Amino acid sequence: MSTEKSFKLDGKTIPFEDGDTIMDAALRAGEYIPHLCHNPEFTPHGSCRVCIVDVNGRQVSACTQPATENSEVINSSEQIMSQRRSLLQMLFVEGNHVCPACEKSGACQLQAVAYYTKMLSPHFTHFFPQRTVDASHPDTAIDFNRCILCELCVRASRDFDQKNIFAIDGRGIRSHLVINSPSGELGDTDFSAEDKAAHVCPVGAILPKHKGYERPIGDRLYDRKPISVVGDVAAHEFDQE
Amino acid sequence: MAEKLKVATASLCGCFGCHMSFLDIDERILDLVQLVEFDRTPITDIKTIGDCDIGIIEGGVANAENVEVLREFRKHCKILIALGACAVNGGIPAMRNSFTLKECLEEAYVDGIGVDNPMIPNDTEIPMLLNKVHPIHEVVKVDHFLPGCPPSGDTIWTFLTELIEGKPISFPYEQIHYD
C-alpha cells in the first residue's frame, strides 16, 4: 500500500515528503509557482509574496507554507494572478526599473515573472526614489535603483560565503540594502566576484562589470520562452557564456 | 459600409521610435487605412485634434505642452492608448528624475563639457519643463498600455486588429517586452 502523502495543485496530485513546503514539492514535480525571493538553495524568506497561493480558502506564500495532506492549492486562478500582478506593479513603481537602460534586461527575473502574469502597465503612481549606484568594486557594480529587497545576497553572503557583506537596514518603506564596510561601499569589503552573493541577484542590482549586453536581443534568457519553461535566473548563472 | 474609425497619434517626451515602429507594420498599413482614418498625427501632419475613436500617445509627460496635448487627446478620444516605455512608465527621459531640474539644466547648458556661451534658455516660446517626467497615466486616465522600447510592429498590429475587431486584447509571449 502506498503511504505517499500528496496535495492538489490546481487539481493535479503533487506528492510531498515531511518537511516540504508547497514550493519544494511543486518544484520537484516540475510545476511552476511564480517567485522572486525564493531560491531552493537558501532558507525560504517569504518576503516578496509573489508565490502567493490559495490553500483551502486562505492565501499563503508557497515558499514558506508547509505542504499538508489532501489540501487544495490554487496556483493559477485569475484572482491569484491578478494579486501577483499588483504585487509586481508595486515593486516596479517603488524602485527605478528602467528596462531599456538595464544590462540585466531580457534575463531579469522581475521582468520575466511580470511577463508571466501578463503585466502591461505599472498601474500605480511612480515613487521615483533617489537612490545611488556603487561602482567602487573592481569587478561588481551595485545599482540600488533596482534592488527589490529579496535578501538573496544577504542570505548568500551570510549563509554560504560566511562574509556577512549585505544587510537590510530601515523598516517599511525606508527598508534598503546596506553594505557592511566602514565607508558603506562594496570596494571596501572582501567581496569577490567568485562569491555566491555575486550570482543570486534576480534583478540587475548586483551586476558583473566588463560584460554588459553580451547576448543580443532575441537570444536572451527570457526572450523566446517564459520563465515557467526556462526557470530562474540563478539556475542559469553559469551558462551565459 | 460602416464609417471608418478615427485615429490620432502624438509623440510627447519620446524619441519617435514608437511611431517608427508603428510604420514597421509595413504594407499592412494598407489594410489598416481600409478600417481607419487618420486625424491629428505626424503621418498626416494635421496639427489639431478632432473627435476620435482611438488616440495613441508615445512618450511621457515632461513639459507644459505635453500636459496640454495629452489632455486634448483625452478630451477628444474615446479610447486612449499608452504606446511604449516612456508613455507607460516614463522610460529613459524619466531617468532625469534622479536629479533636480536645476542640476539637469546646469549640466546641459552651463557646466557641461564643450558648452559655448553658457545660458539656460528662457524664451517664452519654449514650453516650461516639469520638475519630473511622468508616465501618462499619472496625468489622465489611460485605457490600454503597450509596453516596449519600442513595441514591435507586430505587437502594434496585434493590438490594433484585436481592438478594431472588438476582441479581447492578448499577445503571443514574444510580443511583450519592456525594452
In a domain, B32, yes or no: yes
> What are the start and end residues of each CATH 3.30.70.20 domain in chain A?
98-236
Q: Kindly determine whether residue B85 and residue A100, on different chains, have CB atoms separated by under 8 Å.
A: yes
> Is residue B70 over pLDDT 80?
yes
Average pLDDT over residues B99-107: 97
Nearest to B92 among A100, A118, A226 (CB): A100
pLDDT of residue A3: 72
pLDDT reading at B2 higher than 90: no
Which strands sit side by side in the sheet containing A140-143, from one edge to the other?
A133-134, A140-143, A206-208
Q: What is the least distance, in Å, from the CA of B49 to any CA of chain A?
A: 26
Residue B84 is part of which domain span? 5-97+132-175
Q: Residue B78 has what pLDDT? A: 98
Residues from chain A that touch B97, judged by Cβ atoms under 8 A, are 96, 128
Nearest CA in chain B to A108: B178
C-alpha span between B42 and B21 (Å, rounded): 14
Contact criterion met (CB below 8 Å) for A154 and A178: no
pLDDT band of residue B1 (cuts 50, 70, 90) is low
Q: Is B179 within 8 Å of A100 when comparing Cβ atoms?
A: yes
pLDDT at B169 > cutoff 60:
yes
Look at residue B46 and tell me whether its pLDDT is greater than 70.
Answer: yes
Per-position DSSP letters for A30-87, written without gaps between them: T-----SS--TTS-----S-TTEEEETTEEEETTTSBP-TT-EEE-S-HHHHHHHHHH
Work out how many CB contacts closer than 8 A connect A with B: 75
Q: Do B92 and A123 touch (CB under 8 A)?
A: no
Does B113 map to a domain?
no
Query: Is residue A114 within 8 angstroms of chain B, CB to CB?
Result: yes
Q: What is the pLDDT of residue A237?
A: 84
The structural domain count of chain B equals 1
Residue B103 host element (H or E): helix B101-109
Is the confidence at residue B107, as pLDDT, over 80? yes
How far B3 CA sits from the closest chain A CA (Å)?
30
CATH says A98-236 is which class? alpha beta
Q: Collect the ranges in chain A with pLDDT lower than 70.
A: 1-2, 240-241
pLDDT (0 to 100) of residue A241: 46
pLDDT of residue B143: 98
* Burial class of B120 by CB neighbour count within 10 A (0 to 12, 13 to 18, 19+): exposed
The answer to whether residue B90 is domain-embedded is yes
**B103, part of any domain:** no
Q: Which residue from B98, B149, B170 is facing A96, i.e. has the nearest CB?
A: B98
pLDDT on residue A71: 96
Q: What percent of chain B has pLDDT over 70?
A: 99
Query: What's residue A1's pLDDT?
Result: 46
Residue A13 CB neighbours (<10 A):
10
The three three-digit cell numbers of residue A65, written as one number: 507554507
Contacts of B104 in chain A (CB under 8 A): none
Give the Cα separation of A209 and A105 in Å (integer). 15
Identify the pLDDT of residue B14: 96
Q: Which residues of A153-175 are buried (b: 16+ CB within 10 A; e: fewer)?
A: bbbbbbeebebebbebeeeeeee
Could you say which of B97, B135, B149 has the minimum Cβ distance to residue A122?
A: B135
List, by residue range, all CATH 3.10.20.740 domains of chain A.
7-76
In chain B, residues with a C-beta closer than 8 Å to the C-beta of A144 are none
User: Comparing C-alpha atoms, which of B179, B73, B53 is closest to residue A112?
Assistant: B179
- Tally Cβ neighbours within 10 Å of residue A231: 15
B/e letters for A106-144, b = 16+ CB within 10 Å, e = fewer, are bbbbbbbbbbbbebbbbbeebebeeeeebebbeebbbbb
ipTM above 0.90, yes or no: yes
Q: What is the mean pLDDT of residues B164-169?
A: 95
Amino acid in position B23: L
Facing A98 at nearest CB: one of B91, B138, B144: B91
The CATH class of A7-76 is alpha beta
